[in-house]
Each structure stands twice: as C-alpha cells, then as structure tokens.
Amino acid sequence: MKNRKILVTGGAGFIGSHVIRRLVNRYSDYHIYNLDALTYAGNPENLIDVENSLNYSFVKGDITDENLINDLFSNYRFDSVIHLAAESHVDRSIKDPLAFVKTNIIGTINLLNAFKNLWNGDFEDKLFYHISTDEVYGTLGDEGLFTEETSYDPNSPYSASKASSDHFVRAYGETYELPYVISNCSNNYGPNQFPEKLIPLFINNIIAMKPLPVYGDGNYTRDWLYVIDHATAIDDIFHKSNLHETYNIGGFNEIKNIDLVKQLCDIMDKKLNRQIGTSQQLITFVKDRPGHDYRYAIDASKIKEDLGWKPSVTFSEGLNKTVDWYLDNKKWLDNVTSGSYRSYYKEHYKL
Ligand code: NAD
Ligand code: DAU
C-alpha cells in the first residue's frame, strides 16, 4: 500500500531510531510520525541524519497523555502504528514499577483506544504493530528455546508490564477485531543504545578504566541480536505478516554474560592499543539483580521460514561494529552520560 501514515512511538530511543531511519530512507511515499516523550532514554541526536527528510515529522509527547493521543489520531489519521515507546530497563523497573505500569500498560491502552475509536471497525489496510520482548516468557533452564507457543511467565516489573501490554493488544484483536501483530525479540545491541544496558555500559566503563559490574556469578545467558537486524525484521513483519500473528525474533546467538564481557574486553584492548588482559582486570562481581532471569534463548524459525528473515551479521562482526561506533561517537556517549544518569549510576552500583 502506498502513502501510508505511520505513527512510530519511541522513535528517539535505541531501537526506534533504527526503525525510523530504515522506514524514512526506504519508503519515500510513506509519512513517518515519530511520537516520543524524550525521557532520559530518548535522544533527538539519534536521528540527526533524517530529521529534515520530507517524509518525517517529530512530535514530542507522552503516550500516557490520553487527550494528546486522541488529538493526534484525529488530526493525523494514522493508518498504522509501530509501537516501541516503553520504559525498557529491568533494573529501573525494580526501583520504580509504577513508571512501567504507566507507560507500558496505560500508554499502550491509550494508543489502542485512539486507534480503535478513529477507525471504528473500518480496519481495512490498517495495522497496529506492537513491539515486545522475549522477557514475557520468563526464564529458561539450561535446555530449550522460547517459541511463539511458550506460556507467558514474567518475573520482573518490566516484563510483567510488557506481558500485560501484549495481552491488551491481543484482547483488542479478539474483542474489537483490531488488526494487530506482535513481535517478541531477544536482547539487542548496537549503536545508540543507552549506556545503562550491559554492552554500552561496559564499553563506556572500559574506555574510562572503571569497574565492570557483573551481576552474580556472570553465568546468565542472553541471545543477542544486532539492532539493525531487528529493524529489518520489524520492516518485514510490518509488510508481510498476516494479521493477529506473533513472531519471535532472535539472534541464534546465545552467550553467557561473563563470556560476552571477556570477548568485549579483548576487542576493546585491541582497539584502544592496550595490552590484552588489561580490561578483563576491571571485571568486578557485584550483588545479583533480584529475580534475575537465568537464560533467554529464542527459536526464531517461524520468522525465518514464513518471512525469509535472518540476521545479517555474526556476533563478532556486530560487536566490532558496535565498539567502533561508540569509539567514533565519544561526544554522543559523553552527552548521554552527563546529568541525571550520573546519579542513577552512583545510586544503583555504589561503585
Ligand atoms: P529505549 O529505552 O532505548 O527507548 C524508549 C523510547 O521510548 C525513548 O525514546 C523514550 O523517550 C520513549 N518513551 C518512554 N516513555 C515514553 C512515553 N511515556 N511516551 C512517549 N515516549 C516514551 O528502549 P529500546 O531498547 O529502544 O526498546 C524499544 C522497545 O523495544 C521497547 O518497547 C522494548 O520493550 C522493546 N524491546 C527492547 C529490546 C532491547 O534489547 N532493547 C529487546 C526486545 C524488545
Ligand atoms: O531480552 C530482551 C530484553 O533485553 C529487553 O526487553 C530489555 O528492554 C533490555 O533491557 C534487555 O534486558 P536485559 O535485562 O537482559 O538487559 P541488560 O543489558 O540490562 O542485561 C543483560 C544481562 O547482563 C543480564 O543478565 C543482566 C546482566 N548485567 C546487566 C547490567 C546492566 C550485568 O551483569 N551487569 C550490569 O551492570
């Protein structure tokens, strides 16, 4: 379909900015509206290269503001929504669950209501695409993979809020025939990720020769996906999925935190011309995250078989590209680690 009016929420954040860049550059006949509250995680610098594109508009606003959302839908008449805006950091959700309830649950319901009321049952060529996480499935033991049929079993306030929002999206599909798709993705990494998450935090600390706080024994496992491959998957699902489908997205790439951290340390030592082993000395085992999920691993065979999607880079290629980006964009890193981030870091890590 040509001339779509797509509302992307959370487009100034990490994944959202890569999604926006891809859509703006690839689909000149679409208009992409980016609605973002610019919380600590939203950064207009992430989109500097597309901000003047004719098919792109930025709106600063909060998805918890019901009146604003209703006004935007009636003024712009979005035919599609790609909903990424969220509070996204597990550690922050442990400190302040209500912020996650407000944005991730209430904010999602505001968008669903506005979309439902605008189109009032006439949903032809309309789509509400909800971006979710593999964390809704809870934790795995040493064996097995999350499939689209795995039962929801969230363990953190963050994952409980995302699970709830997924349920609401499905419920609106059943109750009001709202046309939706949902995808549940594993851990992303890459350029523009806020340095509270493992990889960018540790890159930042290695540059500054600060301790690398590994939670517990470091034997927790995640399945890592390069963010640009997630953006490609979102594009594919948006354009090719049947309605009311769920897709799991993953990197086919499980690694224990401690092994990842050691790999990162060695890459950084090489790039910073430090003696190999220097950064590994910064590894510091700290108190574990409460309710820490032991292992996530995605069975991404459905998206591979149905839509022909697969990751384009290996973990080693992606990690090298990521480190290069952070080293080349030191100013970006300095800008986001100034201000209130410093007090969060001090309070959380006490390091
Ligand atoms: P992020 O924290 O980097 O960005 C979130 C964005 O949402 C920011 O730009 C922020 O300003 C905006 N936002 C937050 N609250 C808002 C509100 N009330 N109104 C409007 N905008 C608001 O997050 P991310 O890592 O890019 O994640 C994006 C989405 O993808 C989230 O829904 C997350 O649950 C999901 N996800 C993330 C990962 C991952 O590894 N990062 C993996 C799977 C799924
Ligand atoms: O799986 C998808 C999820 O991945 C997304 O839904 C979340 O938005 C995203 O934040 C991410 O959640 P995680 O909790 O897995 O990511 P994080 O980078 O916070 O942590 C990755 C692993 O590293 C996890 O096992 C905790 C550990 N860790 C993290 C930090 C920040 C540490 O050992 N030390 C740290 O300082």
Q: For a ligand 2 pocket test, name from 222, 254, 292 the mutation site with the most ligand atoms within 8 angstroms of its C-beta.
A: 222
pLDDT for residue 33: 98
Question: Ligand 2 pocket by C-beta < 6 Å: which residues?
Answer: 88-90, 133-135, 186-187, 197-198, 201, 213-215, 220, 222, 257, 289, 296
Q: Is 69 in the pocket of ligand 1 (CB under 6 A)?
A: no
- The Å distance, Cα 277 to ligand 1 centre, comes to 34
Nearest alpha carbon, ligand 2 atom 10: 89
- The Å distance, Cα 88 to ligand 1 centre, comes to 5
pLDDT for residue 299: 98
| 88 Cα nearest atom in ligand 2 | 8
| 185 Cα nearest atom in ligand 2 | 2
Active site residues: 134-135, 158
- The Å distance, Cα 222 to ligand 2 centre, comes to 8
pLDDT for residue 350: 87
pLDDT for residue 13: 98
Nearest alpha carbon, ligand 1 atom 37: 133
pLDDT for residue 326: 98
pLDDT for residue 161: 99
pLDDT, tens only, 297-339: 999 999 999 999 999 999 999 999 999 999 999 999 998 988 7
pLDDT for residue 2: 81
- The Å distance, Cα 178 to ligand 2 centre, comes to 32
Q: At a CB cut-off of 8 Å and minimum separation 6, what does 135 contact?
A: 90, 154, 155, 156, 158, 159, 162, 293, 296
pLDDT in tens for each of the 351 residues of the chain?
789 999 999 999 999 999 999 999 999 999 999 999 999 999 999 999 999 999 999 999 999 999 999 999 999 999 999 999 999 999 999 999 999 999 999 999 999 999 999 999 999 999 999 999 999 999 999 999 999 999 999 999 999 999 999 999 999 999 999 999 999 999 999 999 999 999 999 999 999 999 999 999 999 999 999 999 999 999 999 999 999 999 999 999 999 999 999 999 999 999 999 999 999 999 999 999 999 999 999 999 999 999 999 999 999 999 999 999 999 999 999 989 887 888 888 889 988
pLDDT for residue 6: 98
Ligand nearest to the CA of residue 213, numbered in listed order: 2
Nearest alpha carbon, ligand 1 atom 41: 188
What SS3 string covers the chain? CCCCEEEEECCCCHHHHHHHHHHHHHCCCCEEEEEECCCCCCCHHHHCCCCCCCCEEEEECCCCCHHHHHHHHHHHCCCEEEECCCCCCHHHHHHCHHHHHHHHHHHHHHHHHHHHHHHCCCCCCCEEEEEEEHHHHCCCCCCCCECCCCCCCCCCHHHHHHHHHHHHHHHHHHHHCCCEEEEEECEEECCCCCCCCHHHHHHHHHHCCCCEEEECCCCCEEEEEEHHHHHHHHHHHHHHCCCCCEEEECCCCEEEHHHHHHHHHHHHHHHCCCCCCCHHHHEEEECCCCCCCCECCECCHHHHHHHCCCCCCCHHHHHHHHHHHHHHCHHHHHHHCCCHHHHHHHHHHCC
Domains in the chain and their CATH numbers?
5-189+223-249 (3.40.50.720), 198-221+254-291+313-340 (3.90.25.10)
Q: pTM of the predicted model, to two decimals?
A: 0.98
pLDDT for residue 340: 80
| 36 Cα nearest atom in ligand 1 | 21
Q: Is 195 in the pocket of ligand 1 (CB under 6 A)?
A: no
